[in-house]
Amino acid sequence: MVIKLFMKKIVIFILFLAVYTSQAQMKADDVKTFTLTNGMKFLVVEDFSIPNANMYLFYKVGSRNEYQGITGLSHFFEHMMFNGAKKYGPKLFDQTMEYNGGANNAYTTENVTVYTNWFPASATEVIFDLESDRIASLSIDPEMVESERGVVLSERSTGLENSPWRLLSESLQATAFQEHPYHWPVIGYEDDMKNWTQQDLERYFKTYYAPNNCVVVVSGALKFEEVKRLAEQYLQPISAQPAPPKVHIVEPKQTGERRITVQREVTNPYIMIGYKTPESKHQDYYALKILSAILSNGKSSRLYASLVDRQQLATVVFTDYGNSFDPNLFNIYAVANNNVSSDAIENAFYVEIEKIKNEGVSEAELQKVKNQKLMEFYNQIETIDGKSNNIGTYEVFFGDYKKMFNAPENFNKVTIADVQNVAKKYFSKSNRTVGVLKTNVEE
Amino acid sequence: MKYLNIKTVALFCLLVSTNISLVAQNYKLPKYTSFKLPNGLTFNLMEQHDVPVISISAIIPAGAIYDADKAGLASLTATALKHGTQNFSKANIDEQIDFIGANINTYASKEFAGVSAKFAAKDSEKVLTILKEIMLNPTFNAEEFEKEKSRLLVELEQKKESPRAVIGTYFEKLIYGNHVYGNSISGTIASVGNLTVNDVKDFYNNNYFPNESAISIVGDFSEKEMKTILTRLFSKWKKTNSVRENVFVETVKKPSKSKVILVNKDDANETTFYIGSTGISRNNPDYVAISVVNTLFGGRFTSMLNDELRVNSGLTYGASSRFSTLKNAGTFYISTFTAKETTQEAIDKALEVLKALHQNGIDEKALTSAKNYVKGQFPPDYETTDQLARLLTEMFWYNFDASFINNFENNVNGLNLVKANEIIATYFPTENLQFVLVGKATEIKTIAEKYGEVTVVEIKD
């Protein structure tokens, strides 16, 4: 509704990319940026299509910054950020935001912790005040720590209770990574969750919740100058901190296949296979993303057509290659059909992989995925939330928000040979970890 | 994650909050036109040129309420629409749709069947042709049907691994009893096991007609050209003169005593529960006011329920409440989960919060907060072509018009404290509450007995 000028520009940019490169430069310019003197970087998109705005704060801290003994602390900290600061005490962050028509949420991954505020543009100053208060002077009340501990234990428990994937993927991750912090789950070990100390929390806040460790994206019905003025007023006074310690552990090269089995009462076995693959900034990223789509995106995809439709070995199959700072996993997931063993599914999957390694993919398949990527892009930029989330993600994971504007071009550059090469390079037996979850683990 | 999208679930879907007051006064629903073909099929067209995409939402009165004794039939029929048509095989449809990055989804809800689609504007002729084929000329290939059915049977079995995936069906059955609204959309393993491809063909022939159906299209197209294409494609759909049996002969009765369905799951570590009663229908004149009050009770993070069960006591990751509405009836329920050891504490607290709502009512500040919140969170609900297409379709189905949107702000602003407290007394239940508990029966059955007459069922049955 109304006019979404920013989107139009991007669309044109994609379609005529090859010809009008100079215009393409202009489109990335729709994102305006500034950096406060304390190192906090802002990316701003003016968009008056609806009278709302949002603020996404990306902190570069996640479970990869933890060590055994404090696992899950990043995620717990995410919760504590809502539990009171100097000006707005316990409960007042949420009460004030909601009174002003705003809502919020937050999420933590292995790599980042992201805070999301959605509000009517008229409430923008209140949002700046709230964020400023908790970033500058969070108060970590021991009583709030105790009650919030119960909340995250419930969050962990309900995740495990409602999906077998949670248990299987945590176990697989722990097997694939033996040294690197991707070894433990984002939610943490239950025993660590019960033992975080006040000191752990205070140190975490000082180290990681520094303005220089944060990228802020604001999209919506706001003028750039207004955002800048509010940022300078509310957030610039907060002191920078020394850069957080680098995560120095590099996972040693995997030299042989790893296998695990997990017991749980389930109807049919759940199977997951993880291949070690590089981080988002790596040159193979785009080819691997395309390979993932060729394997499992839609009913005509290779794995769905073969394993689910033709052979009826599985009822569900999907793949995932997410964003990460350090080398992580390309995962394949399947649920067995009745009377089908996990071995049969595994072998059928390897057959499909060998086909790609030996024969490559077709021109039509490659074009199909490129078309899908374009639709995906439209969907991402259709809302102010999609814009903020994507611009922030590209800035943080790819080092530059402008890469978002280059993404369609980077996908278009991928050739049949590239896809075949990444399949050969990463999809080897010695580079994989195989996990099976089933009822009878004694057979 | 801070909060499990309960917010989104807890609010009345997308229709709750409708206003843009805070910046742009006098928000109006964007212009759209409606027309009807001679066969009775209704179209709503809304041009939106911001992004070169088009969204479609179609609605056919062929939901689970027409299943009769074949539970799951409406749902399986809707799924099977994509199993091939007179002109396209299933594989051909899948390939064409995937190749252009489009999606077409067919489904059945409690009351109606639906088709939704989203695609690049340049592909509209291609997608509309496939849509027409799917809706008018499905052939229900027998082999594909058997494959679909066997997958569905496995999925139904697997749903029992997740309390959250099954609790709603038990609750609806408890509230609606033998009324058709108690019908399970997906059906049971026993009922689906008996379904045949001929059942699906019969269901299609008896229930898929243009005269009570509508198709809403929103996006980057020219209304005039679109109208021509649609008229050409959909005029051949034959209307029916037969009148279907009225499935609403039973009325939904308020429960006369408290009942507890205890769903035993032997390996449960948590108890997942709903507490509630009958609710309201979508056309209730107090719909907006109820949604504002429910926002305070259990519809947002600082709601009374979440504040007490999560923030104050750490008993759960989230607690919420919701009025789920249909054309002629609805349910109200409180929803949460807790460790099995704290089952009683959590249930008692939820009941205390409900009691406190009735005893203390709400105050001016709380009401203002809820009104601001409902208004402030509205605009993003109407940002995309998908959201707008769905809105137009729901307007058709539930028989409300643009005034609902255009007057929403006034309606919210007009809610005063006296009226809000009347809403509590009228619509939030106090007695004969209905409970569904999913958990380990041997450990929580004695607790369950404190709340009403207990029936124990096995999640695996």
Among B6, B8, B154, the residue to mutate for chain A (most A Cβ within 10 A)? B154
Which has more confidence, A3 or A294? A294
What's the average model confidence in pLDDT over A116-143? 95
Alpha-carbon gap: B2 to the closest alpha carbon of chain A (Å): 5
Cβ-Cβ contacts under 8 Å for A262 (sequence gap 6 or more): A167, A168, A171, A435, A436, A437, A438, A441
- Cross-chain Cβ contact A82/B269 below 8 Å: no
| DSSP annotation of B196 | -
- Cross-chain Cβ contact B99/A371 below 8 Å: yes
pLDDT confidence band for B8 (50 / 70 / 90):
very low
pLDDT at B27: 64
pLDDT confidence band for A147 (50 / 70 / 90):
confident
Query: Quick one: which of A42, A40, A21 has its CA closest to A31?
Result: A42
What's the average model confidence in pLDDT over A166-175? 97
Cβ-based contacts of B369 with chain A (< 8 Å): 95, 98-99
Region of A297 please: left (phi>0), alpha (psi -120 to 50) or beta: beta
- Structure pTM? 0.92
Q: What percent of chain B has pLDDT over 70?
A: 95
Q: Is the pLDDT of residue A373 over 70?
A: yes
Give CA–CA dist A24/A13, Å, rounded.
5
Q: Is the pLDDT of residue A8 over 80?
A: no
What's the average model confidence in pLDDT over A328-346? 97
pLDDT confidence band for B1 (50 / 70 / 90):
confident
Using an 8 Å Cβ cutoff, are B62 and B138 in contact? no
Q: Is the pLDDT of residue B236 over 50?
A: yes
Cβ-based contacts of B338 with chain A (< 8 Å): 154
Residue of A nearest to B219 (CA): A1
pLDDT confidence band for A18 (50 / 70 / 90):
very low
Query: Quick one: which of A46, A431, A130, A27 has its CA closest to A258?
Result: A431
- Cross-chain Cβ contact A160/B269 below 8 Å: yes
- Cross-chain Cβ contact B154/A1 below 8 Å: no
Among the partner residues B2, B30, B300, nearest to A106 by beta-carbon distance: B2
3-state secondary structure of A73: helix
Residue of B nearest to A14 (CA): B52
- Cross-chain Cβ contact B272/A161 below 8 Å: yes
Cβ-based contacts of B267 with chain A (< 8 Å): 264-265
Alpha-carbon gap: A374 to the closest alpha carbon of chain B (Å): 8
Give CA–CA dist B396/B390, Å, rounded.
10
Residues A71-84: tens digit of each pLDDT: 999 999 999 999 99
Among the partner residues A101, A158, A376, nearest to B22 by beta-carbon distance: A101
Give the angle subtended at the CA of B116 by the CAs of B115 and B122, to the nearest 5°.
125
Residue of A nearest to B166 (CA): A162
- Cross-chain Cβ contact B373/A98 below 8 Å: yes
Cβ-based contacts of A153 with chain B (< 8 Å): 339
pLDDT at B307: 96
pLDDT at B448: 98
- Cross-chain Cβ contact A50/B383 below 8 Å: yes
Cβ-based contacts of A108 with chain B (< 8 Å): 1
Q: What percent of chain A has pLDDT over 90?
A: 85
- Cross-chain Cβ contact B380/A265 below 8 Å: no
Q: Sheet containing B259-264: which strands, arranged edge to edge?
A: B320-325, B330-339, B270-278, B434-439, B259-264, B453-458
Residues A227-238: tens digit of each pLDDT: 999 999 999 999
Cβ-based contacts of B22 with chain A (< 8 Å): 51, 101, 120-123
Give CA–CA dist A391/A332, Å, rounded.
27
Among the partner residues A98, A101, A264, nearest to B302 by beta-carbon distance: A98
Give CA–CA dist A202/A221, Å, rounded.
36
User: For all residues of chain A together, what is the average pLDDT?
Assistant: 91
pLDDT confidence band for A3 (50 / 70 / 90):
very low
User: For all residues of chain B together, what is the average pLDDT?
Assistant: 93
Alpha-carbon gap: A435 to the closest alpha carbon of chain B (Å): 19
Q: Concatenated DSSP letters for A143-179? A: HHHHHHHHHHHHHHHHHHHH-HHHHHHHHHHHHH-SS
- Cross-chain Cβ contact A266/B101 below 8 Å: no
- Cross-chain Cβ contact B51/A94 below 8 Å: no
Cα–Cα separations (whole angstroms), residue B251 to A35, A373, B181, B332? 63, 49, 10, 17
Using an 8 Å Cβ cutoff, are B171 and B274 in contact? yes
Which has more confidence, B378 or B25? B378
Q: Is the pLDDT of residue B152 over 50?
A: yes
Residue of A nearest to B364 (CA): A99
pLDDT confidence band for B404 (50 / 70 / 90):
confident
Among A107, A127, A147, A154, the residue to mutate for chain B (most B Cβ within 10 A)? A154
Among A132-136, A150-154, B265-269, B440-444, where is mean pLDDT lowest? A150-154
pLDDT at B245: 83
Among the partner residues A50, A99, A105, nearest to B369 by beta-carbon distance: A99
- Cross-chain Cβ contact B267/A264 below 8 Å: yes
Alpha-carbon gap: B164 to the closest alpha carbon of chain A (Å): 7
**Phi and psi at residue A276, to the nearest 5°:** -65, 125
- Cross-chain Cβ contact A157/B270 below 8 Å: yes
Helices (H), A60-208: 73-80, 92-99, 124-137, 142-162, 164-176, 190-193, 198-208
pLDDT at A360: 97
Q: Is the pLDDT of residue B242 over 90?
A: no
Query: Quick one: which of B336, B362, B354, B350 has its CA closest to B417?
Result: B362
Q: Is the pLDDT of residue A7 over 60?
A: no
Residue of A nearest to B372 (CA): A101
Cβ-based contacts of B91 with chain A (< 8 Å): 300
- Cross-chain Cβ contact B316/A151 below 8 Å: yes
Residue B187, number of CB atoms within 10 A of its CB? 25
Cβ-based contacts of B412 with chain A (< 8 Å): none
What's the average model confidence in pLDDT over A110-117? 97
pLDDT at B28: 74
Which has more confidence, B30 or B11? B30
- Cross-chain Cβ contact B51/A11 below 8 Å: yes
First to last CA, chain A: 59
Give CA–CA dist B157/B160, Å, rounded.
6
pLDDT at B6: 39
ipTM rounded to 2 decimals: 0.91
Cβ-based contacts of B375 with chain A (< 8 Å): 101, 120
A389-410 b/e (C-beta count within 10 Å ≥ 16 → b): bbbbbbbbbbeebbbbbbbbbb
Q: Is the pLDDT of residue A23 over 60?
A: no
- Cross-chain Cβ contact A367/B272 below 8 Å: no
- Cross-chain Cβ contact B379/A52 below 8 Å: yes
3-state secondary structure of B117: strand
pLDDT at B24: 39
Q: Is the pLDDT of residue B21 over 50?
A: no
Question: Which token pair is B246?
Answer: 């009225």
pLDDT confidence band for B4 (50 / 70 / 90):
low
pLDDT at B25: 40
How many A-B residue pairs are in contact by the CB < 8 A criterion? 228
Cβ-based contacts of B380 with chain A (< 8 Å): 50, 52, 118, 383-385
